Structures are given as C-alpha cells and as structure tokens.
Amino acid sequence: MEQPQTSLFDEKKVVQEFCDLLECSKELFNGLRDLPQYGQRHWQPYFARTFETYTKLWKFQQENRAILDTVYNLKRWQIGEIASKIGQLYYHYYLRTSETNYLNEAYQFYTAIRARNYYKNVTQETPDLILKKHRYYARFIVVCLLLNYKQDVHDLVTDFARQVENNKSILQENEELEWSQVVLEVKEFLDSDPVQVLKAETYQKCDIQMRLLPSSLPASEKGVQTRITLGDAIIVGNSPSQLKFSELTIDMFRMVQALERSPGSPSHTMEKINPAQETSERLLKRENPHKYLLYRPTFFQLYTFLCTAIKELPPAHALLLYLSAHGSKNRLNKNVEINEEDGYELGGVITNDRKDETNTRKQTTLKNMHCLHPADLYPFLRKPMMIIVDSDNSKAFSMLPNLFGQPVICLMAPEELPNSIKEQFSQGRLLTCFLYSPLMAFLQVCGFDQTSDRLYETCSQVISKALQEIQRSYLRSRTIDHSFLQFFGDDFLRLILLRFAFCFCTLKLHRAYKDSKFHPKSCPVLPEEDFVGNPAINKAIVDMADVLGVRSLFLETNPA
C-alpha cells in the first residue's frame, strides 16, 4: 500500500516542479519586453537566463510527459506554446546579434510545431488559442522569408489562409479583417521581386540567393587597407505605400539580406552556440554586422539608437545608417542665399508621419518634428560612418561635411526617376534594388519582368566582370577621396560601394536616364572620368545589354 502513496507523492512533485518552471519561464519571457531594444551589452545576461529556464522546461516536459499527460492533463497546444516561445527567443536573439544560425534554430522549432500538429485541435478551444495559432504562423513566415525559404513560405501561406478563412465565425470582425490583411500582405511580399527568374525547362520560379557569397565579390587586391570593419547597421523604413510584412518593408528586407553572409558560404560558420553560454568576446566577433531594424521610428527613437550605436561602436569599426523614406523639402525664398553646409536649409527625410497634436500653432509655421536633417547627424561623424539615403530628397545630404577627420561617405538615390520606374515604387526603391541585386535592378531598368535561369546565370558572370573593373577604378583612381578606400577592407562595405558605382555607371549610360536628376550621387563625389569614362566598365554594361537584346537602350561608348 505504501508504494502507490510514494508514487502519488512523486507525481505531485513532478507537476509542482513543472508549474514552477512554467511560471518562471513566463515571467522571464514577459520581462524581455522591458529590455531596451538598443544597446548590446545589457540584455545578454537576461536572455541567457531566459534561455536556460526554457531549456530546462522543455527537457523536463519531455522526460515527464507520461505523468504530465495523466495528472496535469497537459494538452498538445501547451507543448506547442512552449516550443513557440523558444522559437521566438531564437528569433529575437537573431535580431540582437544578426547571426543566422539562431534564425535556423527558430526555424527548427517552428517546423517541429507544424510537423507534430501541436496546434491541430485549437479550433475546438477558445478564440485566444486561435489567435496564438495565427501569431505562430505569422512568426514562422517571417523566419522563412529571412532565410529565403520561398517554398516553405508558399506552403505556410496556403495553410494560413485556409486557417483564417475557417475561423472567421469564431473571431471578432476586426480581428478577422486584421488577419485577412496579414495574409494579403505576405502574398504580395512573395511576389515583390521586380524580375521573376524562371527555370528554362519547367517555367517554375527559382529562389535566388541574395546574401553575401564568396562569388559576390571580386578578390581583394593587395595593398587594400583593412582597418575599418562594419560594426553596426541601423536600417530605417518609412514608405507607407511600399509593400511590407510585419514591421519590415521590402527595402528594409533587401538591406537585411545584403548585410548578411549566406549560411552556406565557407566563411560562415554554422556552429551551434547555446545563447545561455555566449561570451562578450564572441559577441564582438560576429561574422555579420549587428542590425537595428526601425520601422517608422520617431525622431527621438532614431536618435536614441544612433547615440547608443555610436557609443558602443568598438575602435576601427564603422556605423552604417540606411534611410528609406520620403523627403521633406523646405520652401526656400529665392532672394535668400542658401548655406547648404548649415544642414537644415534643404530639409531631410521623414522617418515617421505622426503629427504633434499637442501643438496648436498653425501648420504652415511648423516643420515636421520627425524629419531627420543632415545636421542632426553631425555629432555622430566622430566615428567612421556610411550613410545611404534612398529618398526623393536625398540631395539634402549632398553637402555633408567631414567635421572630425573620420571617413564619412553618403550614397544618395536619384532626385527623380522616369515614370516607368516610378510606377513600380511599391515593389521597392531603385537604388536599394541595385545594392541588393545589381542584376535584378539592371533587368528592371531595361524593362524586363522575367527571365530564364540560364540567361540570369550568363548575365551574373558579366556583372562579376563589371564589379571587378569597378574595383580597379576605385583602387587606381588618383583623384578619389581617401574615405572610399578606408571602407574597402570590409566585405559588406566594399560590396555596397561596388554596386553603387555600377548603378551610377548604368544609369549614366542609359538613354532614359540622360537627365542628371535621374543619377545617384555621393558625398564625397565619385570621379566620373574614372568610372563612366572607363572603357572596360562601359564594355561590361554594353555586353550585358547585347546579351539581353537591349543594346539600343544605352548610349554609344568608346571601345576599350
């Protein structure tokens, strides 16, 4: 008779320990919301403790599943909820570190939830559980998009759309409309590539890898300075009419891809690191730059992130600031002389469209409080900085001064674009497309919306030759500003500079872009004679136009 009593005591002990772990894990997870999104040094111990607790919880429920099923009445969706929380932890750790191995860990947990049908029967439960299931699908889709697992996304969207449709009667009307909008957004996001690459035999879409591969860059030449490394990147998006999913516009998504190494590349190690055992030394040796993703931040939020990023930037590291937003142009009095170095005269870019409703003054006398002006960046030029402004008022940043002797470069989008490209604005801005995929952008400005995988591969080889010639122009130019070369030692910064110059040369040679307002600009200025005047670069561009059968779209050039 004593044995069952002992067994009953042990069972109660197991259930109590599980409840304690579950409650502790929930408290820790909810506490993550209180951690500041900016800064890399203060959050890691808390994340490590949360990971450790969830690891214990996950193992404990696995080892004691029989007791928890019979005594605690553990349900499948509760196991799924624990797994989903662990997936979220890995995803947020990826956001904090930019290491794609954590993104893969999130993918593994989310995949297991779907494969084991943890949420299969939640339609029989309460609306709260249906919302949990919908949020799980949305998070899983974001992870698959970032990993470029397009087929997984297609499968998930089909399943997700069916779930949303089937649960219409259970959810409130506003909730149902919200989730239907989420499904629509992700479907549009999937079709956002300006050019579809199709398999020649089957006409099926190809998934093209856009992250950094060894083949993406020309071999580094001897004598190139390697002093500066890209440490942090702040990616800002505020384009209301642009495709987005979650809080990620298509431009932001493309810059994220451009600033990460491909998980399969030799230089990218896929070692399995337990976040609970991370060290501060390893945090400083990331293979990808740390990124802050800011969707429609207020001016004060952006300024806080800038201050923190600059403060924590290690020696010999640079900050990249990327701005994809519409501009705010000041109305200038023609009789007043413009001092462009003032930094406020020409306006800036609007990072958030929220209006200050507490101010009762007439709107005609007010300037947008969330407009980032060039002069707002002056204090941060104390450290190496590359700024990319993809906006219709990018020219406001064309006179950015070098106040502290540090290398500072600003790459600016064209002031205007031909109507044919303007119509495709919702699918992403042109300069960003060139930085993301110079071949996709080249095909876009030539009027293509699809091509075969064979032709794409042929053109990719021509692009590689063009980038190689552009790199030589950077290194051999006698008039180029030294700031460009100081950034050349970092793979990501070098690739951005090469692709920007390719954009510059392509649009200068394109007949539809003859007007100077259609050309990208930089500060300091790229010496035109070393790039557009380089016969080898021109030949590569013309050769690609010949391959595509659009030679007539480009100006005649001098032979090499």
Write the CB contacts of 134 (distance below 8 Å, at least 6 apart in sequence).
160, 163, 164, 167, 179, 182
The kind and range of the H/E element at 327 are strand 327-328
Q: Average of pLDDT values for 105-112?
A: 95
What pLDDT is stored for residue 151 in this prediction? Answer: 87
Say which residues have a Cβ less than 8 Å from residue 82's Cβ, sequence separation at least 6. 22, 25, 54, 57, 58, 61
Burial class (CB in 10 A: 0-12, 13-18, 19+), 369: middle
C-alpha–C-alpha distance, residues 523 and 480, integer Å = 11
Pairing assessment for the beta strands 248-249 and 348-350 based on DSSP bridges: unpaired
pLDDT in tens, 266-285: 444 445 556 655 555 555 56
The pLDDT score that the predictor gives to residue 344 is 86
pLDDT in tens, 318-342: 999 999 999 888 765 555 555 555 7
For residue 237, list its beta bridge partners: 295, 324
At residue 6 the predicted structure's pLDDT band, cuts being 50, 70 and 90, is: very low
Q: pLDDT by residue (tens digit) across 445-502?
A: 999 989 999 999 999 999 999 999 999 999 999 999 999 999 998 999 999 999 999 9
Q: What is the pLDDT of residue 285?
A: 63
- pLDDT range class, residue 291, cuts 50, 70, 90: very high
Residue 403: is its pLDDT beyond 80? yes
pLDDT of 527 strictly over 90: yes
| Mean pLDDT value across residues 404-413 | 96
pLDDT of residue 284: 54
Average pLDDT of the segment spanning 69-90: 93
Please give the average per-residue pLDDT across 128-138, as a whole number: 91
Asked if residue 527 lies in contact with residue 492, where contact means CB atoms within 8 angstroms, the answer is no
Residue range 181-207: mean pLDDT, rounded: 85
Find residue 472's DSSP bridge partners.
none
Q: With contact defined as beta carbons under 8 Å apart, do 80 and 109 qualify?
A: no
Check residue 355 and give its pLDDT. Answer: 65
What pLDDT, in 10s, does the model give residues 12-23? 899 999 999 999
Residue with structure tokens 């064209």?
Answer: 414
Token code pair at residue 482: 């030294």
Distance CA 320, CA 509 (A): 29
Closest by Cα among 91, 95, 209, 102 to 150:
209
Under the banding of pLDDT at 50, 70 and 90, the label for residue 193 is: confident
Is the per-residue pLDDT at 1 higher than 60?
Answer: no
- pLDDT of 360 > 60? The answer is no
309/93 Cα distance (integer angstroms): 17
Alpha-carbon span 15 to 245, nearest angstrom: 40
How much is the pTM?
0.90
Predicted confidence at residue 272, as pLDDT, reads 53
Rounded CA gap, 327 and 329, in Å?
A: 6
Q: Catalogue all structural domains in the chain, each as residue range(s) with its CATH number.
A: 2-197 (1.25.40), 214-553 (no CATH)
pLDDT in tens, 253-270: 999 999 999 875 444 444
Q: Are 158 and 151 in contact (CB under 8 A)?
A: no
Helix (H) or strand (E) holding 232: strand 229-238
The pLDDT of residue 265: 44
- At residue 522 the predicted structure's pLDDT band, cuts being 50, 70 and 90, is very high
Please tell me the chain's helix, strand, coil percentages from 3-state DSSP, rounded to the nearest 5: 55, 10, 35
Q: Kindly list the distances between the CA atom of residue 36 and the CA atoms of 39, 497, 507, in Å, as whole numbers in the listed order.
A: 7, 32, 42
Looking at residue 87, its pLDDT comes to 96
Predicted pLDDT of residue 212: 86
Given a cut of 60, whether residue 311 has pLDDT beyond it is yes
Alpha carbons within 13 A on the beta-carbon side of 33? 4
The two three-digit tokens of residue 359, written as one number = 């101010």
Q: Percentage of the chain with pLDDT > 70?
A: 88
**Span 202-250, pLDDT tens digits:** 778 887 888 888 888 888 877 666 689 999 999 999 988 889 988 899 9
How far apart CA 374 and CA 471 sit, in angstroms, is 29
Mark residue 513 as left, alpha or beta (left: phi above 0; alpha: psi -120 to 50; beta: remaining): alpha
Task: List phi, psi (to 5°) of 91.
Answer: -65, -45
More confident residue, 339 or 442: 442
pLDDT at 323: 97
**Confidence category of residue 43, pLDDT binned at 50, 70, 90:** confident
- Checking if the pLDDT of 381 tops 50, the result is yes
Tell me the average pLDDT of the chain: 87
Higher pLDDT, 169 or 131: 131
Q: Which residue has the higher pLDDT, 358 or 429?
A: 429
Q: Would you state the pLDDT for residue 455?
A: 94
pLDDT computed for residue 519 by the predictor:
95
- Name the nearest CA neighbour of 326 among 402, 418, 445, 422: 422
pLDDT value of position 346:
86
Structure token digits, residue 413: 């989008």
